[in-house]
Structure 1
């Protein structure tokens, strides 16, 4: 003990403890998780040396908050990458320090518990050296120590330019380094624009991205014989999980995680080079069902924007099938109000829209988002049986939620698989396999066009473009006439046109894309924005990928999804801005501006309350999420909530979040709402800087039900100086 105390009092003890925390732990993390890459190790060395020169010899109370934030980001980054295969972007920084994120992500425990333990022990050891050696001056670093982090970071930058790598960002950067590089990239882009002076960029060529192309050779000589349409959407499943896809694209990934789905893929028409255009379920569903790119950034989802439209929604697939005599239905395993699907789905043409409230069958396990996949498909089979009794043809879209973070599966699956994520995928595969077998046994496949796909991809570490790699399996009565493997590049933007083309129904000219039921002699342009990278394929053998540093690299690649591609060059400046301009033009296909838009999320729907609030997202009573508010604008919110039952009081909270972090708007604390004294609020706030991913969370608990008759969000430019002042929040409810 005396020896340890003596060592802790040495001038170098604090330095060694700090090095162990900020250098040794990240290096061990990179090696343990298979993220080994010279660029990654160089990045860790650069950030570690920067933290050392900044924090060594500083008071513990000055350095501790920095180390806590750094450790928290390190742990949360590992959890995010392991859970969804995505490195955090700059917009995720607040997301990573939100306790709600960690609570949801780790409800089944940390995927890397040793990392949390190592960070905690390292931090405690560092604090002990400060306490025991408080009377001993710390070792003085050489004056040239400040040069080390600059040289390491500059060496990383130079090597990246000389030997560019397309590996995943978490293999190449530590999170602080990535955020620093992104900031430098923004400054560099601004400087380039300033140096180019009055040079005006030519408008981007958009026809290849937005056109409806039905000029290909038909695969079927006559209209499809299917009477009904069933779209099965699997939460977060990448195309690499399908063996047919892996073989067709010669993928080095060989894990057979979904053997049941793989066997059905061998009976189906599979499209290996199938592109997912973005993350988030609501964005994937919009692209699938409305034949249009959703936002290729973090702006307001177009499904929400569609609520302000009264014409473009009529071109969506459900509306078109309803117009031609189909009964259109939507069923998901989660509540509908999250992301306003309770409003969006009816608006785009679904006659019936159901979520968790529809199911009466018991669940096999508790899952915060809703029905586990086995219980969901059992309920879905009953739903299909009811549709089968109808005289009208029907269209049903299903959405699972069991493979959404946090992943959950029965205990026997958790014992069999290495991680909860893999166990959830295996559980989904078994449930889906049984569902498809039941459909076949009941004769439903004989007269139904079945499309199996995913809304987004939760990615796979080490697999190129896994975050954009989707899949599309088609089961049709004419299966023998369809190819086993559909060649060409397709994506979610093609699904609506494809189904209408199969049925030989008119395809609205406002839809974009190609038909999966046609062969094309030439390539096509297509884009995606996943894992923080904007990707564009020109249809002529070149894939361009633009990263967070405002730098674009281009590769020789016949298709979009490929196991490898040949790097041919890189650029920035005007050419890079043209790629961004294409994405910006696609983003504005519905609304030219976010100004003067009146979103109404209220309705006459009666919403039962839960006994307690467990999750700000899953328990949300309204769907006002991921809104976009331009710089210099002014947002006004009106809200009316009443308790339906005169004998029951409702406890209501309203929260605001930006980039998943709580935003203080001066809103009242928890309020009691009664049938006689409804909650009425009218407040506004300024947006001095652009807001993206801005969400309102209306939460309530009690034993009754409520009606949210009005929830209006209006963003506009201020008319007079007086309106810039935030009026006090008015409320007629009683404080809790």
Structure 2
């Protein structure tokens, strides 16, 4: 009886005239608001954005037939999931360029190759959609009450209110905190139309090229901190994956940061013994871009274009100015060691090309991991191996340079169970695990006497950001430990960044600094400010060195703030603008992007090599298991890309199974290739294929994956992008890098 009563109640509720409206409102409004609460994205503008999109969906769909409304709600649900997945994986919102992936079943797969970052959201959206469908079916014979005509004004008023607040007092929060994704895409489209209209109204006037001297010149005119060249014999650079400057206590104190969580007490204690640069700028996201900037004294792309490290493979002059090549020229042995495989992002090719005598990755380590981690060595195991490596270098008579790169604080974050129990999130636990491992490593260096004759620079490749901390995605750190520490300041004033590191180390040793390098020396004091740029979380930032920080967003709308330095706790908005002035700032970034190559067209990239690559029994991760380094390439609109590959199995007794995938902005792109290809020693895989690029492609990555019991040789993986209609065939491409 009770069960029948319950069923009758549910039946009456679903048939109620208001049930369809309530179910729709719960789906498109209540779930997004709960999502903001659950993920800590609460912001008045974000709530306003959710209300605007929800009210728009309600007035559009309320009395529509279910078969008309369902596709719209499915697309909206996928957008909601895509927002959470991409923010979790790579810290950005999807863009208009991502929309054609909505039909791809693997669209929501994050960069680690795993499933949903927030599976509860997918389940909740599915339940909400089922309830809405149930009300549509059960109430199909009951007329639904109409909405007043004035309801159509609600979304318009809410959108205008959001625009007005953003215009008068723009928020500095991340885009996903301020915008609902459909609203952000709508705003971007409107902004693009507005920009094109402004350009049309201004006519065909040719704008003068921007003055780039302040961003590209080498400046060694400051007062030296050391009266004589540094006394260190060796150089050790430690790049910590994704660590922002806010994790260093000295930096927080110097910049009066409101962020006070002490996740890295060991690093902060060591910082008390060295020279710290609190206002230290990271110019971009991605490890390869950060390494390029710090080791080659140049800005990497301030967008999602082909990384300059990859571009540098096409030339043999600028690479000789990079720090490893310069130190090798002056008698140092140069070494690069990282805890992950080298082929991803072509570091197996880039690092030797810029001057490292020895380039080693995951395959070098013989010690076991303390925990399972898809990218490679956990941080404790990595630093134990690195300490042994330093011990080997200490035995040689030649001075050495060693660059270390950790991977343990890369998403997905892994840490031992006892760390996971002590911290709220896996990310915090991974950072704490890194801090303990780093502390033990530095103590080991001290015990071995390494610190007495080695210049140690601890920094990060990029920043994984901190929710609620202003500019955390651009806030890096530079901790320098020198044998002459008593002659160096504890806190280094001024604005510096990765672009300064190469010139600084050469200047420390009193070695000639090539004019091809940009930036200033950390071992000098300057009386004037300097220009500097960064591009993180979809925002381009430029400081003019004279108290003004400019920030340009996805709508090409720029705002000027009064800010003495680059990284500041609080700034004052002075003006905002679009049009010609905004394009002048963007033109500076474009000019920096072309410092190596003026165009991405007609560049032949060779990602193959004679290296023998052992295969795993199964593919675990599209990114970490990649056999080649063809990632984050740029293909201009209207171009044509051609690919040639040759793969053979090394073991005559074993078959290798090969897959080739492609991703653009982290999302799968169908290439029309077989899902799986078999390779043997007698029957190698030789394939030529091509595809058009009707729209610009950014961050386009090839993922060559293989599994089996043997090993393979990828002797050729050539990629060339050219103008449509060029007649040169792939088979006529030159071997090797051009």
Normalised TM-score (structure 2): 0.95
Check whether the contact 2:252–2:259 (CA below 8 A) recurs between aligned residues: yes
> The residue matched to 1:653 in structure 2 has which SS?
strand
Give CA deviations for 1:320-369 in whole Å, capped at 9, x if unaligned.
Answer: 11111111111111111111111111111111111111111000111111
Give CA deviations for 1:90-128 in whole Å, capped at 9, x if unaligned.
Answer: 556678987476455695984x56544543432232222
In 2, Cα distance between the equivalents of 1:567 and 1:660?
A: 34
> The residue matched to 1:467 in structure 2 has which SS?
coil
Check whether the contact 2:106–2:668 (CA below 8 A) recurs between aligned residues: no
The verdict on how the C-alpha distance between 1:656 and 1:29 changes in structure 2, with shifts beyond 3 A counting, is closer
Check whether the contact 1:629–1:692 (CA below 8 A) recurs between aligned residues: yes
Q: Of 68, 79, 96, which residue of structure 1 is paired with 2:74?
A: 68
| Paired position in structure 2 for 1:347 | 353
Per the TM alignment, residue 148 of structure 1 is displaced from its structure 2 partner at its CA by 2.0
Matches within 5 A, 1:300-339: 300-339=306-345
The verdict on how the C-alpha distance between 1:283 and 1:677 changes in structure 2, with shifts beyond 3 A counting, is same
In 2, Cα distance between the equivalents of 1:540 and 1:290?
A: 26
Would you say 1:706 and 2:712 are equivalent positions? yes
In 2, Cα distance between the equivalents of 1:710 and 1:92?
A: 30
In 2, Cα distance between the equivalents of 1:513 and 1:93?
A: 39
Per the TM alignment, residue 15 of structure 1 is displaced from its structure 2 partner at its CA by 1.0
Would you say 1:266 and 2:266 are equivalent positions? no
Per the TM alignment, residue 53 of structure 1 is displaced from its structure 2 partner at its CA by 2.3
Q: Of 671, 679, 703, which residue of structure 2 is paired with 1:697?
A: 703
In 2, Cα distance between the equivalents of 1:684 and 1:116?
A: 36
Would you say 1:173 and 2:201 are equivalent positions? no
Per the TM alignment, residue 79 of structure 1 is displaced from its structure 2 partner at its CA by 5.2
Matches within 5 A, 1:237-276: 237-276=243-282
| Paired position in structure 2 for 1:398 | 404
The verdict on how the C-alpha distance between 1:351 and 1:106 changes in structure 2, with shifts beyond 3 A counting, is closer
Check whether the contact 2:52–2:154 (CA below 8 A) recurs between aligned residues: yes
> The residue matched to 1:568 in structure 2 has which SS?
strand
In 1, Cα distance between the equivalents of 2:666 and 2:244?
A: 25
Check whether the contact 2:276–2:477 (CA below 8 A) recurs between aligned residues: yes
| Paired position in structure 1 for 2:637 | 631
Q: Of 559, 583, 586, which residue of structure 2 is paired with 1:580?
A: 586
Q: Which moved more, 1:349-358 or 1:113-122?
A: 113-122
The verdict on how the C-alpha distance between 1:268 and 1:568 changes in structure 2, with shifts beyond 3 A counting, is same
> The residue matched to 1:619 in structure 2 has which SS?
coil
Check whether the contact 2:663–2:701 (CA below 8 A) recurs between aligned residues: yes
Would you say 1:679 and 2:685 are equivalent positions? yes
Q: Of 142, 146, 149, which residue of structure 2 is paired with 1:140?
A: 146
| Paired position in structure 1 for 2:3 | none
The verdict on how the C-alpha distance between 1:213 and 1:286 changes in structure 2, with shifts beyond 3 A counting, is same
| Paired position in structure 1 for 2:21 | 15
Matches within 5 A, 1:441-456: 441-456=447-462
| Paired position in structure 1 for 2:32 | 26
In 1, Cα distance between the equivalents of 2:438 and 2:78?
A: 37
Check whether the contact 2:218–2:517 (CA below 8 A) recurs between aligned residues: yes
Q: Of 451, 461, 467, which residue of structure 1 is paired with 2:473?
A: 467
Give CA deviations for 1:20-70 in whole Å, capped at 9, x if unaligned.
Answer: 111112223334444333222211111111122233233434433433343
Matches within 5 A, 1:13-162: 13-78=19-84, 80-81=86-87, 86-90=92-96, 99=106, 102=109, 110=117, 115-162=121-168
Per the TM alignment, residue 169 of structure 1 is displaced from its structure 2 partner at its CA by 2.2
Unpaired segments ≥5 residues, structure 2? 1-5, 732-738
Per the TM alignment, residue 82 of structure 1 is displaced from its structure 2 partner at its CA by 5.7
> The residue matched to 2:692 in structure 1 has which SS?
strand
Q: Of 625, 636, 639, which residue of structure 2 is paired with 1:619?
A: 625
Would you say 1:386 and 2:397 are equivalent positions? no
The verdict on how the C-alpha distance between 1:491 and 1:620 changes in structure 2, with shifts beyond 3 A counting, is same
In 2, Cα distance between the equivalents of 1:437 and 1:34?
A: 37
In 2, Cα distance between the equivalents of 1:427 and 1:581?
A: 42
Check whether the contact 2:85–2:116 (CA below 8 A) recurs between aligned residues: no
Per the TM alignment, residue 636 of structure 1 is displaced from its structure 2 partner at its CA by 1.4
Per the TM alignment, residue 662 of structure 1 is displaced from its structure 2 partner at its CA by 2.2
The verdict on how the C-alpha distance between 1:24 and 1:105 changes in structure 2, with shifts beyond 3 A counting, is farther
Q: Of 415, 420, 434, which residue of structure 2 is paired with 1:414?
A: 420
Check whether the contact 2:101–2:668 (CA below 8 A) recurs between aligned residues: no
In 2, Cα distance between the equivalents of 1:612 and 1:106?
A: 13
In 1, Cα distance between the equivalents of 2:97 and 2:274?
A: 39
| Paired position in structure 2 for 1:364 | 370
The verdict on how the C-alpha distance between 1:668 and 1:108 changes in structure 2, with shifts beyond 3 A counting, is closer
| Paired position in structure 1 for 2:734 | none
The verdict on how the C-alpha distance between 1:92 and 1:268 changes in structure 2, with shifts beyond 3 A counting, is farther
In 1, Cα distance between the equivalents of 2:216 and 2:539?
A: 21
Check whether the contact 1:95–1:660 (CA below 8 A) recurs between aligned residues: no
Q: Of 611, 619, 627, which residue of structure 2 is paired with 1:605?
A: 611
In 1, Cα distance between the equivalents of 2:691 and 2:78?
A: 31
Check whether the contact 1:642–1:675 (CA below 8 A) recurs between aligned residues: yes
| Paired position in structure 2 for 1:548 | 554
Would you say 1:539 and 2:539 are equivalent positions? no
Check whether the contact 1:95–1:101 (CA below 8 A) recurs between aligned residues: no
Aligned residue pairs total: 724
In 1, Cα distance between the equivalents of 2:246 and 2:94?
A: 22
In 2, Cα distance between the equivalents of 1:220 and 1:585?
A: 35
The verdict on how the C-alpha distance between 1:515 and 1:615 changes in structure 2, with shifts beyond 3 A counting, is same
Per the TM alignment, residue 150 of structure 1 is displaced from its structure 2 partner at its CA by 1.9
Per the TM alignment, residue 241 of structure 1 is displaced from its structure 2 partner at its CA by 0.6
| Paired position in structure 2 for 1:526 | 532
The verdict on how the C-alpha distance between 1:388 and 1:341 changes in structure 2, with shifts beyond 3 A counting, is same
The verdict on how the C-alpha distance between 1:104 and 1:550 changes in structure 2, with shifts beyond 3 A counting, is closer
> The residue matched to 2:473 in structure 1 has which SS?
helix
In 1, Cα distance between the equivalents of 2:332 and 2:516?
A: 21
Per the TM alignment, residue 85 of structure 1 is displaced from its structure 2 partner at its CA by 5.4
In 2, Cα distance between the equivalents of 1:95 and 1:421?
A: 28
> The residue matched to 1:194 in structure 2 has which SS?
helix
> The residue matched to 1:637 in structure 2 has which SS?
strand
> The residue matched to 1:403 in structure 2 has which SS?
coil
In 1, Cα distance between the equivalents of 2:641 and 2:445?
A: 49
Check whether the contact 2:232–2:455 (CA below 8 A) recurs between aligned residues: yes
> The residue matched to 1:341 in structure 2 has which SS?
helix
The verdict on how the C-alpha distance between 1:551 and 1:196 changes in structure 2, with shifts beyond 3 A counting, is same
| Paired position in structure 2 for 1:730 | none
In 1, Cα distance between the equivalents of 2:372 and 2:115?
A: 12
In 1, Cα distance between the equivalents of 2:99 and 2:407?
A: 25
Check whether the contact 1:95–1:659 (CA below 8 A) recurs between aligned residues: no
In 1, Cα distance between the equivalents of 2:162 and 2:333?
A: 58
Q: Which moved more, 1:663-672 or 1:626-635?
A: 663-672
Q: Which moved more, 1:321-330 or 1:21-30?
A: 21-30
| Paired position in structure 2 for 1:502 | 508
Unpaired segments ≥5 residues, structure 1? 728-736
